[in-house]
Amino acid sequence: MKTTTIDSIISNALEGKDLCPSEGVFLLQQTAPEAIATIRQAADILRQRQAGDTVTYVINRNINYTNICEQHCSFCAFRRDAGESGAYWLDWGQILEKATDAVGRGATEICMQGGLNPDAKIDGATLPYYRKLVETISDEFPQLHIHAFSPQEVQFIADQDGISYSEVIASLQEAGVDSMPGTAAEVLDDRVRRILCPEKTDTATWLEIVGTALRLGMPMTSTMLSGHIETQSQQIGHLEKLRSLQRTAKENAYPAHITEFILLPFVGQEAPKPLRNRVKRDQPVLEDALLLTAVARIFLGNDITNHQPSWVKLGLEGATEALNWGCNDLGGTLMEEHITTMAGAKGGTCMAVETLQEAIHSLGRPYQQRDTLYKKLKQTANSTT
């Protein structure tokens, strides 16, 4: 009976039909090796049809400009109070130095996110501080793509300065932000958010900010923090909300869309104790992450083409395996990563281009450097496997 049901769901998916939420949950509930193999294979076929065989990567640098944060997310090992041991706040010279180093190492993108620091103001307002963060880089290196500020940071700026989300986004865009990360999504379900990140935006606000960004022509990525307290039904509910957001953008011909989906399996080793005790999980369970990766491809692939695993969370070996479960991109070099590493992730803080290429090559698939918006940069492709 179960086999028949899986077969019919998979056969519909392979015909290009959408999964309904209950079908997505049903796939996630499978434990039999044959069923899981069928789901993996379907995700791999859809990945091949929707995104091709080539696995892409981006040369980028992360800059986490401060870890001083007014919020207290229950999973976060990164945040500090001002003055606390380990608290830092990069000055303009340090920001520029990191951007200069990134350019020297071939980066096409700077990815910037940080804590919500209420002291980050210029002349008493928050937006000018964030604009200066961007302009410090974009004035010197206009060729760099600046991928910066989560919906949570947009809400923070808007609240601090008493302005609208669209004013914040338009102003950041004018300063030089080219796209924004769809982080701070965690799981888009308020029952989960009340425990995980009670001070963060609620689900409706996160969706409103991302929808506003797309309407204003700001491309967004999308993410899900998985494997903590959420249920399978909440995981699928999250995917359903992303799918519907992307459809709204397409149906209304918004000038931007969601460029990729990144699964971020929970790393709990150094997470604050209450959540760590509740989840009782130090590192991601690879099997769970891979099944969810495959179901995400099947559920979202018609609308969001590019799927990326996190080598920071899964390690390079796990992330490379995820390329067989529906992913078509191996992410970025990052050059430095603090947020997940401080939570105890074992994947490392940076990745050499050659290491990413070798990992892809080990699967017998071609690799190719891309820019942030998935434009392929021809000169760094390999033509043979």
Residues interacting with ligand SF4, by CB under 6 A?
69, 71-73, 76, 78-79, 115-116, 152, 197
Identify which of residues 68 and 172 has a Cβ nearer to ligand SF4 in the complex: 68
User: What beta strand segments (E) does the chain contain?
Assistant: 55-58, 60-63, 109-112, 145-148, 220-226, 258-265, 306-308, 329-332, 367-369
Contact 354, 90 (CB under 8 A): no
What residues contact 257, with CB distance under 8 A and at least 6 apart? 214, 219, 220, 246, 249, 250
Q: Is 65 helix (H, G, I), strand (E, B) or coil?
A: coil
Give the whole-angstrom CA distance, residue 89 versus residue 120.
Answer: 9
Q: What is the DSSP string of 166-195?
A: HHHHHHHHHHT--BB---S-SSS-HHHHHH
CB 12 to ligand SF4: min, Å: 38
Q: Which is nearer to ligand SF4, 116 or 144 (CB)?
A: 116
To ligand SF4, the closest distance from the beta carbon of 78 in angstroms equals 5
Nearest approach in angstroms of CB 283 to ligand SF4 is 19
What's the CA gap between 122 and 154, in Å, rounded?
Answer: 17
Which CB, 76 or 298, lies closer to ligand SF4?
76
Are 174 and 214 contacting, i.e. CB atoms less than 8 angstroms apart? no
Smallest gap, in angstroms, from Cβ of residue 74 to ligand SF4?
9
Q: Are 266 and 75 in contact (CB under 8 A)?
A: yes
- State the minimum distance, in angstroms, from the CB of residue 240 to ligand SF4: 24
Instruction: Look at residue 7 and give its three-state secondary structure.
Output: helix
Structure tokens of 194? Answer: 């009340």
Torsion of CA 209, 224, 263, 71, to 10 degrees: 90
To ligand SF4, the closest distance from the beta carbon of 171 in angstroms equals 21
| CA nearest to 238, candidates 206, 199, 286 | 206
Smallest distance, ligand SF4 to C-beta of residue 268, A: 14
Please state the closest distance from residue 80 (CB atom) to ligand SF4, in A: 9
Quick one: tokens of 106?
């071939």
CA distance 107 to 103: 5
Question: Could you identify the residue written with the tokens 């410090």?
Answer: 136
CB of 362 to ligand SF4, least distance (A): 33
Cβ closest to ligand SF4, residue 30 vs residue 223: 223
Helix (H, G, I), strand (E, B) or coil at 133: helix
Residues 6+ apart with CB under 8 A from 317: none
